[in-house]
Amino acid sequence: MDEPIDQQGIARARALLATARAVVVLTGAGVSAESGIPTFRDALTGVWSRFRPEDLATREAFLRDPARVWAWYAERRATVARVAPNAGHHALAKIEADSAAKGIEFTLVTQNVDGLHHAAGSRRIHELHGNIRRVKCFDHGHAAVAWDESGETPPRCAACGSRLRPDVVWFGEMLPEGALEHALEASRRCDVFLSVGTSGLVEPAASLAHAAAEAGAAVIEVNPQRTPLTARATIALSGTAATVLPLLAGSAGYVAPRGL
């Protein structure tokens, strides 16, 4: 049975968000779980279950077996194409819009590559790990807008002939120019850092919450499981994104606890 929602924690977190000057939200795969996208640590089910993400999401894996890595991303791209944002994504878009109306600076930093935050209406987004819907060539990064899945796998770049790959950041690759710097700068400047649906295992994204805390920000975590951040969080809300975030956004279902 799901744990009862911590109404006191929700009320305290809402008060922090309402009185903030600057808010940073970091999301991980957990925010897309209720849209039907397996979390990253759970992504390797079925035919992929004999691999670890770190074994497939690398340049070396692609060079070793480009067809296998391309097929894993093609399957994930197909999943992303048929799912929709969930109430958690929509709640974050509402928090962004409400923050703008109140003059509160808002930054959404995501580790996710599924594009669902943009689909839900969020706009102030930093995609730290790229976007699986975009494809580029391995040798020069030429963007590919169309490609033939029926021929050679992976398909080839129309501009230079090198193999196509997903436009995501693999393990061992640098993050997109400026994305980490902007995320770090916003994290050090914010007074509320909201971490949602991330295991906090992948660097350098995992360091953002700690940078915010060290700079004096209050840290709110939303996750049904404990993570390395939980002990450090000002408020740890044990629950799922689609349940908790609408309560934080003041959308459907929020009832202020008596006496608060």
* Six token digits for residue 123: 């706009």
String of contacts with ligand BV8 for each residue 240-259, x by CB under 6 A: xx------------------
> Looking at beta carbons only, is 152 or 173 nearer to ligand BV8?
173
> Looking at beta carbons only, is 201 or 256 nearer to ligand BV8?
201
As a whole number of angstroms, the distance between CA 169 and CA 26 comes to: 17
Among 14, 89, 129, 165, contact with ligand BV8 (rule: CB under 6 A): 129
* Six token digits for residue 42: 């759970």
String of contacts with ligand BV8 for each residue 15-44, x by CB under 6 A: -------------xxx--xx----xxx---
> Looking at beta carbons only, is 104 or 246 nearer to ligand BV8?
246
- Which residues within the stretch 76-105 sit at the binding site for ligand BV8 (CB under 6 A)? none
Among 173, 215, 228, 260, contact with ligand BV8 (rule: CB under 6 A): 173
> Looking at beta carbons only, is 61 or 157 nearer to ligand BV8?
61
Least separation in angstroms between CB 139 and ligand BV8: 19
Q: Residue holding tokens 């990064």? A: 141
Which regions of 111-197 does DSSP assign to beta strands (E)? 125-127, 130-137, 143-144, 164-168, 192-196
| Active site (annotated) includes residue 126 | no
Are 88 and 101 a contacting pair, CB within 8 Å? no
Burial class (CB in 10 A: 0-12, 13-18, 19+), 40: buried
Least separation in angstroms between CB 259 and ligand BV8: 29
Least separation in angstroms between CB 111 and ligand BV8: 3
- Which residues within the stretch 45-64 sit at the binding site for ligand BV8 (CB under 6 A)? 54, 57
As a whole number of angstroms, the distance between CA 65 and CA 239 comes to: 39
> Looking at beta carbons only, is 99 or 227 nearer to ligand BV8?
227
| Secondary-structure percent of the chain, ordered helix, strand, coil, rounded to 5 | 40, 15, 45
Strand order of the β-sheet with 125-127 is 125-127, 105-110, 22-27, 192-196, 218-222, 235-237
Among 203, 231, 252, 258, contact with ligand BV8 (rule: CB under 6 A): 203
As a whole number of angstroms, the distance between CA 236 and CA 230 comes to: 6
Which single residue brings its beta carbon nearest to ligand BV8?
A: 30
- Measure Cα distances from 24 to 152, 196, 203 in Å: 43, 11, 17
Set 90, 129, 140, 210: catalytic member: 129
> Which amino acids are annotated catalytic?
129
Site residues (vs ligand BV8, CB under 6 A): 28-30, 33-34, 39-41, 54, 57, 111-113, 129, 168-174, 197-199, 201-204, 223-225, 227, 240-241
